Amino acid sequence: MQYTAIFLLSLLGVQVFTFVVWGLFLRLGLNWAKVPEITARKVVAATIVVVLLNNIVAAFALLTSWGSPALQIAAILGAFVITIIVPTVVVATTFKVSGWRAVQAWLPTLLSAVSGGLLVIFAYRPFIFETFVIPTNAMAPTIVGFHWQGTCPDCGAPTYCSPLEEGRFVHGPVNMICDNFHVTLSNSPEESVYGGDRIAVAKFLTPQRWDLAVFKYPQDPAVNYVKRVIGLPGEEVIIQDGGIWINGVRQQLPASLEGLEYVSEAEGHFALDLWGTSEKPALLGDDEYFVLGDFSALSYDSRFWERGVDGHNPYAVPKSHMLGVVTTTYWPKDRWRAHK
């Protein structure tokens, strides 16, 4: 929870930076346009209005990102109006100047977007936080991607599974997993497709056992994966009786994972011989991690990988490929939760 608070505070810091820089460039533009009677109160008032409206449009764009095309078009048009027209009107109204002088005063504020972008690209994303949208369901129910929903016949909790490709039909039951980690077969999942979770990842954290981590997929570093960290550098990992054994000692699952059972036998998918079994223990190097998905029956994770990074075990994620630790699912609002 503390890192979720840090994430929220970091977003506030970005907003403060945006506010200050936009106000400074507005003041520069007002001087350039030779606007009379420039006061700090008027500059602050105009900046508050414009930045607030920009945030409203950004929130609307987030709300409509999985909505209808009409809503998405409305969000784009709204962004255009807020970015160009509204600031000009606000400046003209606040400082009682003509439209042309208002445009002249507004133009330097475009540089604030550049400075904000540089802050995000070169400081915030590489070293503080980065956000990701999840497309798949290997980490369901903890983190879900595009999915169908249903109801668990065992406990009544919501269930999740990946939708089939458009144009295909469901022939027979599909595997679904519920919020209590019950894996069941369902003949009738709800056919509405829901969007994937949006997550915040702390770049400054070192992964610990049971953390959710985003990393570069060893077989294709251009692809990012999210899994749960199970084995740490230098450890031996074995999956047995649904549990995790580290260096011969069975590990106690966190309370949030109660009911989860890890699969140690393939059922006709991915591969026949799994890593991390008593026959093929996963022996990790000094800078390697072993990762698993929470939807263990359908997750393509360390157990199944056949080729890894040169110089590393095929089942391992090298430290150099780790991007950060998931702290928060921040969208959609009914899926909000703190992971760390």
What is the pLDDT averaged over residues 147-164? 91
Asked if 189 and 202 sit in the same domain, the reply is no
Same domain, 316 and 239: yes
Show which of 127, 155, 184 is a domain's final residue: 127
What pLDDT is stored for residue 98 in this prediction?
Answer: 93
Q: Is the pLDDT of residue 167 over 50?
A: no
Instruction: Assess contact for 51 and 21: CB atoms under 8 A.
Output: no
Let me know if residue 132 belongs to a domain. no
Alpha-carbon distance of 80 to 301, in angstroms, equals 43
- Number of domains present in the structure of the chain: 3
Residue 111 lies in a domain: yes
Among candidates 255, 199, 259, which has minimal Cα distance to 226? Answer: 199
Q: Is residue 141 part of a domain?
A: no
202 and 334 co-located in one domain? yes
**Sign, CA torsion 323/327/329/330:** negative
Contact in structure between 242 and 262 (CB atoms under 8 Å): yes
pLDDT mean over 138-157? 94
Distance in angstroms (rounded) separating the CA atoms of residues 176 and 160: 5
Please state, for a pLDDT cut of 90, what percent of the chain lies above it. 71
In the predicted structure, residue 63 carries a pLDDT above the cut 70: no
Residue 133 falls inside a structural domain: no
Interior/surface letters 154-174, b for 16+ CB within 10 angstroms, e for the rest: eeeebbbbbbeeeeeeeeeeb
Least trusted range by pLDDT, from 64-73, 89-98, 328-337: 64-73
Q: Is the pLDDT of residue 139 over 80?
A: yes
Q: Which token pair is 66?
A: 């999985």
More confident residue, 155 or 86: 155
Average pLDDT over residues 109-127: 91
Q: Which residues pair with 245 in a beta bridge?
A: 238, 250
Q: What is the pLDDT of residue 173?
A: 77
Q: How far apart, in whole angstroms, are the C-alpha atoms of residue 69 and residue 169?
A: 25
pLDDT beyond 90 at 117: no
Kindly state whether residues 84 and 207 are assigned to the same domain: no
Residue 189 vs residue 297, higher pLDDT: 297
Q: What is the mean pLDDT of residues 315-336?
A: 96
Angle at 241 between CA 273 and CA 144, to 5 degrees: 75
What does the pLDDT average to over 264-275?
A: 72
CA 147 to chain CA centroid, nearest Å: 16
> Which domain covers residue 26, as residue numbers?
2-127
* pLDDT reading at 159 higher than 90: yes
Average pLDDT over residues 233-242: 97
Cut 0.95: pTM above it: no
Query: Does 223 share its domain with 334?
Result: yes
Please give the biggest Cα pair distance in the chain.
81
